[in-house]
């Protein structure tokens, strides 16, 4: 089934091939930026990027686009100095007329191309953007100046991105699994290694450190003590999954966002893919921005600030995941309750505490509430392309809370991990709001 959101974009961003058209009406359409972010989202999906790496892809690409906008729109402030280690960006050449919206699109694509793989994944789309600009009547001098400036900003962002310790973590040691009771163990069907155990070492954008919002210690591991907090939490997960309602299944499926679900049928294994949690929230940004009639520059700023919150949320969460190395419900239930029990959705390959989806959803919701206001009702059409029906919300905060509890319905998290994760994410989002100022007024 076609994604309704994407269909709207495609319908409204049809660039005419007439030379005398007002190119600004076409190139400055905010839906074109949303379409461009969605193109990167699709590449991330196709190439199985884990969610925390996906958040890095979105953050750097959106920051590049935003810095171009800030250079051309006096209402917006550069992030240089606000993100302490972000250097000042190149300025457009004096008297070189530049289309900053077009340059923002190109800068996004160049950075997105560089931080994803395979190499050149967005090349065809970039050529399409350029041809559409020409066909819509953009003067050649403005076109050339815009390309030059986009490259200058993108190159600066890429140079800066390479200092975030990501490259060093590619060759870092794998997570060491221990037999200590209550610690995380690989889960079926893949029994995969713990994903990104060194993500806490990635340079933060606004947080003072990865552990700035370290949550309280999780409850003591007591799987056989029926009066313990831990036992009751495990039992709750089992009972919920064993008696899921149709609504709870829809919620679990809607927020599953598993970028690589391994299916095993007899001796046959195959994967099904969706975009990951940050990709889902990138879609939500586009939906809300469009509903609020945000112009091109405001739309870019919304994507950039939200992607910063997602990036920081993953660093905060992953810092705790590999500190506590907390056991998943599936492991405990199989050992102490029912060896054949399975969660409703597939358990991802990393420790349980806190819930990543709860953390990053709450962080994103705080930023988006700050940008667009509270109690903005909307319908999320993001999952239609995966055959999952829409869900409607009265606010993004409501959506974030549902994203958190969805992991309990899915059988992969304890309730307290989602609730505490939501609070952790709120703190991340509040910090982003406090430290990142985009508009002058």
Tokens at 370, concatenated: 């700050």
> Residues 94-139: pLDDT tens digits?
888 999 999 999 999 999 999 998 889 999 999 999 999 999 999 9
> Residues 142-177: pLDDT tens digits?
999 999 999 999 999 999 999 999 999 999 999 999
Nearest-10 Cα torsion for 375, 381, 383, 385: -170
Minimal CA–CA distance to 206: which of 71, 81, 68? 81
pLDDT tier, 22 (very low <50, low <70, confident <90, very high otherwise) = confident
Give exposure, 254-275, as e/b (b: 16+ Cβ within 10 Å). bbbbbbbbeeeeeeeeeeeebb
Would the CA dihedral through 422, 427, 428, 434 be positive or negative?
A: positive
Give the count of alpha carbons within 13 A of 193, CB side only.
8
Tokens at 178, concatenated: 């221990």
Residue 381 predicted with pLDDT over 80 = yes
In degrees and rounded to multiples of 5, residue 435 shows phi and psi of -100, -15
pLDDT of residue 263: 77
> Residues 267-321: pLDDT tens digits?
677 778 888 999 999 999 999 999 999 999 999 999 999 999 999 999 999 999 9
Residues 226-244, mean pLDDT to the nearest whole number: 98
| Domain boundaries of the chain, sorted by first residue | 4-164, 213-435
Residue 2 predicted with pLDDT over 90 = no
pLDDT of residue 119: 84
Q: 296 near 101, Cβ under 8 Å?
A: yes
Residue 19 predicted with pLDDT over 80 = no
> Residues 247-275: pLDDT tens digits?
999 999 999 999 878 777 776 777 788 88
Residue 18 predicted with pLDDT over 50 = no
pLDDT of residue 267: 67
**Of the listed ranges 21-25, 127-131, 141-145, 402-406, the one predicted with least confidence:** 21-25
Residue 1 predicted with pLDDT over 50 = no
Identify the CATH number of the domain defined by range 4-164: 1.10.606.20
Tell me how many helices (H) and strands (E) the chain has: 16, 4
Q: Cα(396)–Cα(294) distance, rounded to whole angstroms? A: 16
pLDDT tier, 20 (very low <50, low <70, confident <90, very high otherwise) = very low
pLDDT of residue 43: 95
Q: Cα(28)–Cα(343) distance, rounded to whole angstroms? A: 46
pLDDT tier, 15 (very low <50, low <70, confident <90, very high otherwise) = very low
pLDDT of residue 271: 73
The DSSP output letter for 386 is G
Distance of CA 237 to the CA centre of its chain: 26
Share of the chain above pLDDT 90, in %: 88
Q: Cα(432)–Cα(99) distance, rounded to whole angstroms? A: 29
Q: 51 near 123, Cβ under 8 Å?
A: no
Fold that domain 213-435 belongs to in CATH: Vanadium-containing Chloroperoxidase; domain 2 (1.10.606)
Tokens at 43, concatenated: 């590449």
Give exposure, 77-111, as e/b (b: 16+ Cβ within 10 Å). bbbbeebeebeebbebeeeeebbbbbbbbbbbbbb
Is it true that 4-164 and 213-435 share their CATH fold? yes
């Amino acid at each position: 089934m076609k994604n309704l959101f994407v269909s709207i974009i495609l319908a409204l961003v049809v660039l005419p091939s007439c030379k005398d058209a007002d190119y600004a009406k076409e190139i400055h359409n905010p839906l074109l930026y949303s379409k461009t972010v969605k193109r990167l989202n699709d590449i991330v999906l196709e190439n199985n990027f884990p969610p925390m790496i996906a958040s890095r892809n979105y953050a750097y690409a959106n920051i590049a686009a935003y810095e171009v906008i800030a250079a051309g729109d006096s209402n917006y402030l550069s992030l240089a100095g606000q993100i302490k280690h972000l250097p000042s960006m190149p300025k457009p050449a004096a008297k070189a007329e530049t289309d900053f919206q077009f340059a923002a699109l190109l800068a996004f694509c160049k950075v997105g191309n560089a931080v994803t793989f395979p190499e050149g994944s967005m090349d065809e789309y970039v050529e399409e953007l350029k041809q559409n600009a020409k066909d819509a009547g953009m003067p050649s001098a403005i076109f050339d100046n815009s390309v030059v400036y986009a490259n200058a900003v993108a190159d600066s962002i890429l140079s800066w991105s390479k200092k975030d310790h990501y490259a060093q973590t590619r060759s870092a040691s794998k997570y060491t699994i221990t037999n200590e009771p209550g610690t995380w163990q690989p889960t079926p069907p893949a029994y995969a290694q713990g994903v990104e155990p060194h993500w806490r070492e990635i340079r933060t954008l606004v947080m003072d450190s990865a552990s700035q919002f370290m949550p309280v210690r999780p409850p003591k591991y007591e799987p056989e003590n029926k009066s313990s907090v831990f036992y009751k939490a495990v039992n709750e997960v089992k009972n919920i999954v064993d008696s899921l309602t149709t609504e709870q299944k829809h919620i679990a499926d809607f927020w599953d966002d598993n970028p690589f679900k391994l299916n095993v049928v007899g001796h046959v294994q195959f994967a099904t893919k969706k975009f990951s949690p940050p990709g889902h929230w990138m879609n939500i940004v586009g939906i809300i921005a469009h509903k609020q009639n945000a112009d091109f520059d405001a739309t870019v700023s919304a994507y950039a600030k939200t992607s910063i919150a997602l990036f920081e949320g993953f660093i905060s969460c992953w810092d705790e995941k590999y500190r506590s190395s907390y056991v998943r419900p599936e492991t405990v239930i199989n050992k102490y309750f029912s060896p054949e029990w399975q969660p409703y959705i597939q358990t991802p390959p990393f420790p349980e505490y806190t819930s990543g989806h709860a953390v990053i959803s709450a962080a994103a919701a705080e930023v988006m509430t700050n940008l667009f206001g509270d109690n903005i009702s909307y319908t999320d059409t993001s999952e239609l392309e995966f055959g999952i029906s829409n869900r409607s919300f009265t606010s993004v905060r409501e959506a974030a809370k549902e994203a958190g509890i969805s992991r309990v319905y899915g059988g992969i998290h304890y309730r307290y991990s989602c609730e505490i994760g939501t609070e952790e994410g709120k703190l991340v989002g509040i910090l982003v709001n406090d430290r990142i100022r985009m508009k002058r007024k």
